[in-house]
Amino acid sequence: MRKRLAVQEHPGLEFELARFEPDQIDAAALRASGRALGRMRVRGVTQDVVMAVQISIDDARRMCVEGQMKLDLTRFGVPVPNKLGLITMEKEVDVWISLKLRANARTEG
């Protein structure tokens, strides 16, 4: 897979968030769910993507973002391996995120 993703030339996968479109917001529970729309870069190719996400605030006051989507590798020019029809890989893979974010306290001085 590393060869197919050309990690020597493109060592990372990147996602740039353009906007969040909420489906549900529960202000009392500090939770929201919706869609994260943005641009994903894989193997040097950038495509628009949409990921379903859930956002919450935990007891430590961190923003927690979790999401998952199917990603069609062929949209990014990733060749899907097929060894004589015996071993194949699906062209779609599951991509998921789990982030915990906290604001830095500003210091005066």
The H or E element spanning position 32 is strand 31-42
Per-residue confidence (pLDDT) for residue 104, from 0 to 100 = 78
Distances 48 to 2, 42, 65, 102 between C-alpha atoms, Å: 23, 11, 19, 27
Torsional class of 18: left (φ above 0), alpha (ψ -120 to 50), beta (otherwise): alpha
Domains of the chain: which residue ranges?
14-101
Domain 14-101: CATH superfamily, name plus number: Lipid/polyisoprenoid-binding, YceI-like (2.40.128.110)
Per-residue confidence (pLDDT) for residue 77, from 0 to 100 = 87
CB-CB contact of 103 with 68 (8 Å): no
Distance, CA of 50 to CA of 34 (rounded, Å) = 10
Distance, CA of 44 to CA of 13 (rounded, Å) = 9
pLDDT (tens, 9 = 90+) of the chain, 109 residues, equals 777 777 788 888 889 999 999 999 999 999 999 999 999 998 889 999 999 999 999 999 999 999 999 999 889 888 877 666 666 677 888 999 999 998 876 665 5
Tokens encoding 64: 């927690």
Helix (H, G, I), strand (E, B) or coil at 103: coil
